Amino acid sequence: MRSYAERASWIRKMFEEGARLKEKYGADQVFDFSLGNPDLAPPDAFQQALEQAAADSSPGLHGYMANNGYLSTRKAVAAQVGREQECELAADDIVMTCGAAGGLNVVLKAILNPNDEVIVISPFFVEYGFYVENHGGRLVTVKSGPDFRLDPAAVEAAITARTRAVIINSPNNPTGRVYGEEELAGLAGVLAGKDILLIADEPYRKIVFDGVRVPSVMKFFPESVVITSYSKDLSLAGERSGHIAVSARMTDKKNFTAALVMANRILGFVNAPALMQRVIEKIQGQSVDVSAYQRRRDLFCQILADADYRFTMPEGAFYLFPESPMPDDAAFVARLAEERILAVPGRGFGCPGYFRLAFCVPDQVIEAAAAGFKAARRQKAETRRQNSVS
């Protein structure tokens, strides 16, 4: 646990630094872009469904249930995911989980034997490595292509006899990249005929910009699962509610879903919370006002462009992942902290040389940080010029 804490320490360090700066300067004078904690209110439909569910006093509503969740909830989720994935899914293809983190652990527990390998695309959410190790596996990282695109050839080169799964995250945390149909088709071609599960982690599916569409993973590859949560698109991060959707075309679907249900039990999740399942059932297809995130993205990108930062425009999620003006991304994040700007070094996502900014914060926080971004960038440029002269 101490080793894990060190490896996952960057976000925690920035949280602690933020607390120190806020104590010193006041919360309104610190510009915190370190945490991906949604700040938009859930849609009105959520509050209505929550109040209705809480007022229901029918007997048995708070008792044990099937470990994969309420049948009525799974039917509603299957219909929605089927529309998103362009395929027909049944209630038994769904396992309700304690968020996407719970779902990922359940899937990995179900498939991994000791020393099996799981491939992820860099940059990636740091917790993936811990989840894989939780179940005796080994994480194998593969670099993304230009502009953080999926590189099927790089994935193919990393496959060994021990490869059991590939995890993709689209829209991606931390880059905001959405993998297109050509990329998914290429990956499906690489995985075809191999005993490898494709795991799509999709908590940001509904947070996309400029008309970008997230393609169906299940359409391209039958040996696939989609895992998501309602943390981001409904701003319900604290409710720990999500699901696993299993491709209807999976070869050994019956045994696989049975393994998921058993893993859900023995890992201690047992089942997703009853109250939230009843609420989620009523609000399938809903999301927060994504236009607010797009407005913030555009505002932030303009500020960074004006300050001469280099970055790839995110297509979804609520993160920017600019290049660090200094080779040492941690040192540059420390420089930003001198301007009371909190970011996370790219090395925390397996991709040094960059830094992550979360724009799930009020517009005025982004606007107020503009001068600090310019100051940090200007100091770097002046240092480079002085070194050149000397």
CA distance to 15, 109, 301, 318, per residue, from 35 (Å): 8, 28, 18, 10
Mind listing the pLDDT tens digit for each residue in 230-275? 999 999 999 999 999 999 999 999 999 999 999 999 999 999 999 9
Mean pLDDT across 64-69: 95
Distance between CA 264 and CA 241 in Å, rounded? 13
pLDDT of 230: 97
Backbone angles phi, psi at 205, to 5 degrees: -50, -40
Give the chain's domains with CATH numbers: 2-32+289-389 (3.90.1150.10), 44-282 (3.40.640.10)
Burial class (CB in 10 A: 0-12, 13-18, 19+), 137: buried
Mind listing the pLDDT tens digit for each residue in 202-229? 999 999 999 999 999 999 999 999 999 9
pLDDT of 237: 94
Mind listing the pLDDT tens digit for each residue in 152-188? 999 999 999 999 999 999 999 999 999 999 999 999 9
pLDDT of 381: 55
Residue bearing tokens 């908590």: 203
Compute CA 320 distance to the chain's CA centroid, rounded to the nearest angstrom: 13
**Residues in CB range of 225: below 8 A, 6 or more apart:** 107, 197, 198, 199, 200, 244, 245, 246, 247
The proportion of the chain whose per-residue pLDDT surpasses 70, expressed as a percent, equals 97
Per-residue pLDDT band for 384 (boundaries 50, 70, 90) equals low
The pTM score is: 0.94
Per-residue pLDDT band for 193 (boundaries 50, 70, 90) equals very high
User: Could you tell me where the beta strands, DSSP code E, fall in 238-323?
Assistant: 242-246, 319-320
